[in-house]
A and B are shown apart, each in its own frame.
Chain A
Amino acid sequence: MNLRLSTRLARSAVARSIVAFGAAGLLAVGSFSSVYAASPSAATAAAAGHRFCIPEWTAAVATPGIDKLRAAGDCEINRRFVTLDALTRLVNNSDALTADHKVDLRDVNSVNPASYAAERAGLTTLKASIDSDTTLVALRADVGKIAPDYRVYLLVVPKTHLVAASDATAKAIARFGPLSSELQNLINQAKADGKDVTAAQAALDDLKAKVAQAGTVNGPVAGSILPLSPSDWNNGTAKPLLTAARSSIHQARGLLLDARQDAHKVIVLLGS
């Protein structure tokens, strides 16, 4: 079906842009699966609520006109509403996100210009404009704003997951605090009993260093990506920052896994 659609659409420039729009929609499948993966109940809701707009675009290409293009534009906006609703549920139910970051992601605020509420408000206004357009030129211009003015899938969805991952990293780092203290107590106790604690102390020192390094790497992540706007994506600023944020979280995770191994080593050494 996609091949036949592509052959037909290649006949006009308008059709080519429509194909690009539809292809982008297909690419968004991954984003949706990531949005819903964390919540089974949300996944069920997604199966019922979200759908791509292939039929609308097919109809708009087959019989070009205001009504068909308006239907395609409305469909694209509606599926973004569904995504934003799913993200809202995700954030509300998240154990990883801090209360402040939940607000930053969800509500209109001064930190995040692409909050769900701001996106939803803008898309609502745009939908009203699309629904009232009377010329094909005006309608085409409005439909063309849906993706670049809001960047729901390229910016808002990744930003949400990265902030959640960064907060989860911070929570894991915090968990190492009591563990580190307990391990130091055990080492002190073993030392008082006359045991050789050289290896255990070295492992614990390494643990502390790695956890501190993970904190340094992860610390600026959320603050670097929350202020990103759709225009930051369009001018090329946002993508490198999102990539760097993801890399930092991976690095912090690796450090924490090493620190976890250190903790295990201390326990084994003191328990033997």
Chain B
Amino acid sequence: MSVRSLPRSAALMGLALLGLAVTVAACTGAGHPTAAKAAVAPGVPNPGADASASAAPSVDWVDLLSPEPSPATTPAQSQGPTTPPTTPAATPVPTDPTSVAISTTKASSLLSQVDHMLSELNGELSNADAAANNPGE
């Protein structure tokens, strides 16, 4: 009985060791390209890590073991570093998310034209004031 059970327990132990190795690898991040890079001190070049990461993509154990990312935990795209900054005036945020945003671009352009004419009016009126305040004959 002991003779027959020995190979079975050895196989079970082997499976357990394999599982343990997989678990340890997953927890320490070994084999993850970004983890390899993170292990390098900041500012120190590590071309080997970059090369291995780009040349032979390894299994991403973290992703495999992690649950499916939910929308709530996914960072918004607008918060990413490559998103260009936007001004509040250029992209007004509607208070009601179901309503359609109204574009005031054309109105702002027409207002600029009015400003231009008012500026011209100011210049002409200044000339008239100067002529009235400094008369000759």
Contacts and interface: CB of A to CB of B under 8 A. Distances in A.
B9 to A, nearest CB: 73
Contact of A179 (B100, B114, B134): B114
A136 interface: no
Interface residues on B, range: 35 or more
B99 A179 contact: no
B95 A153 contact: no
Main SS class of interface, A: helix
By CB atoms of chain A within 10 A, which of B110, B113, B115, B136 has the most? B136
B134 to A, nearest CB: 2
A96 interface: yes
Interface residues on A, range: 35 or more
B134 A33 contact: yes
Interface string B103-137: 01011101101110110111111111111111111
Interface stretch (A6-14, A111-119, A121-129, A187-195): A187-195
Nearest to B134: A30
B92 interface: yes
Interface in A1-59: 21, 24-25, 27-31, 33-35, 37-38
B51 interface: no
A271 B89 contact: yes
B102 interface: yes
Contact of A30 (B110, B117, B120, B130): B130
A229 interface: no
B127 A27 contact: no
A165 B127 contact: yes
Interface string A233-272: 0000000001100100110010011001001101100111
A50 to B, nearest CB: 12
Interface string B73-102: 000000000000000010010011001101
A194 B99 contact: yes
Contacts of A189: 102
B127 A164 contact: yes
10 contacts: A25-B137, A31-B131, A96-B124, A157-B136, A161-B128, A171-B121, A179-B110, A182-B107, A256-B118, A257-B118
